[in-house]
């Protein structure tokens, strides 16, 4: 057991202290230590009550995810909880940090819970495509009622201790920094007052009320149908809570177990667990160890107050870093600042921040009309339109006026970072920081490493991404870096397919059903045909439609027409444009296609692009590509991203499919398929 569990007795209170860095996950050794503690204290007459607490930064952060896929070795959660159920002595869980998943379920199985105010509790299993499988679906509704239980478990949200206290999930808040003493005092009071052993499993009060509401679950399902689309876990959670309300505890528990095991075996959960580790893996760069120091960033300059620049500025204002926002013209600057204010005020209206916070953030923003204002900035991010000449001009100027040691970043989406860096005398300070629109919302940050970018500059950009709430993914220099290059074939193939027969509506429906929030044509109509098709030399559908004044939703029509309620309806004009260009390009009709075949036509080429990105070393690992697709393009997370998805359909199928479409499969894809390997593991 080593140092995992330490047991001591203080004033008649038996203390089980678990220390299993980094997050006290409830792996086998930890469960063994807990069982030993419970057994030892049960047999010890000197012990009147038991306190469970953790060393380090957090209470148990959940089951050990690395143990998933095989049955839990004994003692499993059941074996631990039955010790608590059988205990004649009160067991108190003492929470700090984040008590999550199986960790919080353990706390729910204890008779009492105390926490410091900074603690947060939650059941985030849904994010792993699972349900709380250690009795959480049965105990939580018994403590807080079905409504709150459904909300907490299907959102996976962690709530602060005060809120948990108000819900009855925590019995007492103890002084910050004095959890141990506070928990011991609480346990002593219990003993002194002869308080009963409260077992959530025996509670009936909340459920009795829920039993009188037969439509509770269907109403919940209907209300959340959109948010739950494509995911498996939320429906299983609803079923488990239904069981909690309608069945005796033990039967409910058995139902929970069956549902949990089915989810554990599902592709959706495997995909979401892949994503959990992929997000964390992305921060690791083999030749830049964590020991490389990052540079302090206390002030940021953003060039360009358009949608992108404004969103980027907000990312830094949100974490209290002052931003100087530079535009050429007063009018554009005013407009940019007004949009930022409007965004914040919108959040305030929704209750996500206070009016005071809006003002605090706006006060950190300094508008400026000249690059001279950036002379003292620690980091400058250029976010002007995609013109190499303009960017080179800006970087040349920055080189002259920025202080030594300033990081010069470009938000370019496609252009060659090395050429941009060549406009300066300090290419080692130049890095790409590529945000995705809307920049204050989308969680992907591509950090682009140029030929000369210094290691500490890369490390700083990666770490800064984490600080502003993004997942940073490292990319090498190429046209479009990872996410945009990956998804380029998606749009192109969509256009080609439309010219071969299926309507935009049919194609969009297939991709929507696959899990995207919208199909490619709906997306182009939303973003604007003029924006998407801008730098195409050859004739394209978007180009032809733009020539007819059809720019998308903003002009009343693009690939679709829009009625007065902005509802998309098929457009005869667009159909004609598509047919004409199809004839001009001599595109053979595809004949009738299933939804799966349509998806394959658009997404197999994406996987192929991913394989090339990987073999060229643009991405460090396949899972980085999945992260980029999911967080940058809203690729459905329950498919695991393009690379993981490719493994689930089979690489042989993929290679063959590509060849049938007349596309040369990437050598890496062919090799991996032949070797029977997994693309997502590369
Ligand atoms: N199991 C195994 N490893 C875990 C883990 C877990 N439950 N939680 C975190 N880790 C690992 C991470 O992979 C990471 O490893 P690395 O350093 O090698 O990359 C390390 O611990 C630190 O994690 P983070 O980088 O995420 O640290 P943060 O401080 O940013 O966040 C945290 C801490 C909030 C606890 C976050 O790690 C987290 O959300 N963890 C997952 C919590 C979770 O989902 N729990 C439910 C598990 S499923 C379950 O309990 C099933 C049950 O119902 C039967």
Name the residue with higher pLDDT: 251 or 530.
Answer: 251
The pLDDT of 405-409, averaged and rounded, is 96
Check pocket membership of 304 for ligand 1, CB cut-off 6 A.
no
Residue nearest atom 9 in ligand 1 by C-alpha distance? 23
Residues that are catalytic:
105, 125
* Fold: same for 5-264 and 300-480: no
pLDDT (0 to 100) of residue 118: 96
pLDDT (0 to 100) of residue 59: 97
Confidence of residue 1 (pLDDT cuts 50, 70, 90): very low
Torsion region of 104: left, alpha or beta (phi above 0 gives left; psi -120 to 50 gives alpha): alpha
- The three-class DSSP label of residue 302 is strand
CB 679 within 8 A of CB 611: yes
CB 463 within 8 A of CB 456: no
Per CATH, the number for 300-480 is: 3.40.50.720
pLDDT (0 to 100) of residue 554: 83
Tell me the best of 21, 29, 59, 65 to mutate to test the pocket of ligand 1, counting ligand atoms within 8 Å of each CB and taking the most. 65
pLDDT (0 to 100) of residue 648: 95
pLDDT (0 to 100) of residue 565: 84
Residue nearest atom 10 in ligand 1 by C-alpha distance? 23
pLDDT (0 to 100) of residue 370: 94
- Dist. CA 454 → ligand 1 center (Å): 31
pLDDT tens per residue across span 364-381 = 999 999 999 999 999 999
For 576, half-sphere exposure in the C-beta direction (CA atoms, 13 angstrom radius) is 4
Helices 595-615 & 642-649, crossing angle to 10 degrees?
A: 120
Count of positions (residues) in the chain: 682
pLDDT tens per residue across span 128-154 = 999 999 999 999 999 999 999 999 999
pLDDT (0 to 100) of residue 573: 92
Tell me the best of 25, 27, 56, 61 to mutate to test the pocket of ligand 1, counting ligand atoms within 8 Å of each CB and taking the most. 61
Residue nearest atom 34 in ligand 1 by C-alpha distance? 98
Helix/strand/coil percentages in the chain, nearest 5 = 50, 15, 35
pLDDT (0 to 100) of residue 294: 93
Check pocket membership of 22 for ligand 1, CB cut-off 6 A.
yes
Give the sheet arrangement for strand 98-100, strand by strand.
98-100, 120-122, 159-160
Confidence of residue 444 (pLDDT cuts 50, 70, 90): very high
The pLDDT of 195-201, averaged and rounded, is 91
The pair of three-digit structure tokens given for residue 395, joined into one six-digit string: 């970087």
Check pocket membership of 581 for ligand 1, CB cut-off 6 A.
no
Report how far residue 423's alpha carbon sits from residue 418's, in angstroms, rounded to the nearest whole number.
9
Atom from ligand 1 closest to the CA of residue 103: 50
pTM above 0.85, yes or no: yes
Confidence of residue 2 (pLDDT cuts 50, 70, 90): low
Q: Which fold has domain 5-264?
A: 2-enoyl-CoA Hydratase; Chain A, domain 1 (3.90.226)
Q: Shortest CA distance to 289 belongs to which of 519, 46, 145, 462?
A: 462
- Within 123-238, strands assigned E span 159-160, 172-174
pLDDT (0 to 100) of residue 296: 94
The pLDDT of 580-585, averaged and rounded, is 92
Instruction: Sketch the domain layout of the chain as residue ranges.
Output: 5-264, 300-480, 528-584
Model confidence at 480: pLDDT above 50: yes
Sign of the alpha-carbon torsion through 653, 656, 661, 665: positive
- The three-class DSSP label of residue 415 is coil
Q: Shortest CA distance to 461 belongs to which of 628, 425, 453, 483?
A: 453
pLDDT (0 to 100) of residue 533: 57
The pLDDT of 615-640, averaged and rounded, is 96
Confidence of residue 535 (pLDDT cuts 50, 70, 90): low
**Which residue reads 């007052």 in tokens?**
193
Please provide the average confidence, as pLDDT, over all residues in the chain. Answer: 93
Tell me the best of 62, 128, 269 to mutate to test the pocket of ligand 1, counting ligand atoms within 8 Å of each CB and taking the most. 62
Model confidence at 596: pLDDT above 50: yes
CB 304 within 8 A of CB 383: yes
Atom from ligand 1 closest to the CA of residue 77: 54
- Dist. CA 488 → ligand 1 center (Å): 34
Instruction: Supply angle C-alpha 664, 668, 671, rounded to 5.
Output: 95
Report how far residue 524's alpha carbon sits from residue 519's, in angstroms, rounded to the nearest whole number.
9
pLDDT tens per residue across span 26-80 = 999 999 999 999 999 999 999 999 999 999 999 999 999 888 878 889 999 999 9
Confidence of residue 536 (pLDDT cuts 50, 70, 90): low
Q: Which long-range contacts (CB under 8 A, 24 or more apart) does 356-361 make?
A: 361/314, 361/317, 361/318
Model confidence at 421: pLDDT above 90: yes
- Dist. CA 61 → ligand 1 center (Å): 6
Check pocket membership of 135 for ligand 1, CB cut-off 6 A.
no
pLDDT (0 to 100) of residue 334: 94
Check pocket membership of 279 for ligand 1, CB cut-off 6 A.
no
The pLDDT of 582-600, averaged and rounded, is 92
């Amino acid at each position: 057991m080593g140092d995992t569990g330490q047991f001591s007795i203080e004033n008649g209170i038996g203390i089980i202290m678990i220390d299993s860095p980094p997050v006290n996950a409830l792996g086998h050794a930890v469960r063994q230590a807990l069982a030993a503690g419970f057994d030892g204290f049960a047999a010890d007459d000197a012990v009147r009550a038991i306190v469970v607490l953790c060393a380090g930064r957090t209470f148990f952060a959940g089951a050990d995810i690395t143990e998933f896929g095989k049955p839990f070795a004994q003692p499993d959660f059941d074996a631990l909880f039955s010790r608590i159920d059988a205990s004649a002595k009160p067991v108190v869980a003492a929470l700090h940090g984040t008590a999550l998943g199986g960790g919080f379920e353990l706390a729910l199985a204890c008779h009492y819970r105390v926490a410091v105010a900074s603690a947060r509790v939650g059941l985030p299993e849904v994010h792993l495509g699972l349900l709380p499988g250690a009795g959480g679906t049965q105990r939580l509704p018994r403590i807080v009622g079905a409504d709150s239980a459904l909300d907490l478990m299907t959102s996976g949200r962690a709530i602060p201790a005060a809120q948990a206290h108000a819900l009855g999930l925590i019995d007492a808040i103890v002084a910050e920094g004095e959890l141990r003493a506070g928990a011991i005092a609480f346990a002593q009071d219990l003993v002194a007052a002869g308080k009963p052993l409260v077992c959530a499993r025996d509670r009936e009060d909340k459920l009795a009320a829920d039993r009188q509401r037969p439509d509770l679950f269907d109403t919940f399902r209907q209300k959340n149908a959109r948010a739950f689309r494509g995911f498996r876990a939320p429906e299983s959670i609803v079923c488990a809570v239904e069981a909690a309300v309608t069945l005796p505890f033990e039967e409910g528990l058995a139902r929970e177990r069956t549902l949990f095991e089915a989810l554990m075996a599902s592709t959706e959960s495997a995909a979401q667990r892949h994503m959990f580790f992929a997000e964390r893996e992305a921060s690791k760069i083999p030749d830049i160890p964590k020991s490389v120091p990052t540079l302090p960033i206390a002030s940021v300059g953003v060039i360009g107050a358009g949608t992108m620049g404004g969103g980027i500025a907000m990312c830094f204002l949100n974490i209290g870093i002052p931003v100087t926002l530079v535009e050429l013209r007063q009018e554009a600057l005013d407009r940019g600042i007004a949009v930022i204010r409007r965004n914040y005020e919108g959040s305030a209206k929704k209750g996500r921040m206070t009016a005071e916070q809006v003002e605090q953030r706006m006060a950190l923003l300094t508008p400026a009309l000249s690059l001279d204002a950036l002379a003292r900035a620690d980091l400058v991010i250029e976010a002007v339109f995609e013109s190499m000449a303009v960017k080179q001009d800006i970087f040349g100027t920055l080189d002259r006026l920025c202080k030594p040691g300033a990081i010069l970043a470009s938000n370019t989406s496609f252009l060659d970072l090395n050429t941009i860096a060549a406009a300066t005398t300090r290419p080692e300070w130049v890095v790409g920081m590529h945000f995705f629109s809307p920049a204050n919302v989308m969680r992907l940050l591509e950090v682009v490493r140029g030929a000369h970018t210094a290691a500490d500059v890369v490390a700083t950009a990666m770490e800064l991404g984490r600080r502003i709430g993004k997942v940073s993914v490292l990319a090498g220099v190429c046209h479009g870096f990872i996410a945009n290059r990956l998804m380029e074939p998606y749009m192109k193939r969509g256009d080609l397919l439309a010219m071969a027969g299926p309507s935009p509506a049919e194609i969009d429906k297939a991709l929507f059903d696959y899990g995207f929030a919208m199909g490619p044509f709906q997306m182009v109509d939303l973003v604007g045909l003029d924006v998407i098709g801008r730098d195409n030399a050859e004739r394209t559908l978007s180009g032809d439609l733009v020539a007819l004044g059809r720019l998308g939703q903003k002009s009343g029509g693009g690939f679709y027409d829009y009625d007065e309620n902005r509802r998309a309806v098929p457009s005869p004009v667009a159909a004609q444009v598509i047919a004409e260009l199809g004839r001009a390009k001599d595109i053979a009709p595809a004949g009738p296609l299933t939804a799966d075949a349509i998806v394959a036509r658009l997404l197999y080429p994406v996987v192929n692009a991913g394989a090339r990105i990987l073999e060229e070393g643009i991405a460090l690992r396949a899972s980085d590509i999945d992260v980029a697709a999911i967080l940058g393009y809203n690729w459905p997370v329950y498919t695991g991203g393009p690379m993981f998805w490719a493994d689930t359909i089979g690489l042989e199928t993929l290679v063959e499919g590509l060849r049938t479409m007349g596309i040369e499969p990437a050598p890496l894809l062919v090799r991996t398929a032949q070797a029977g390997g997994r693309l997502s593991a590369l």
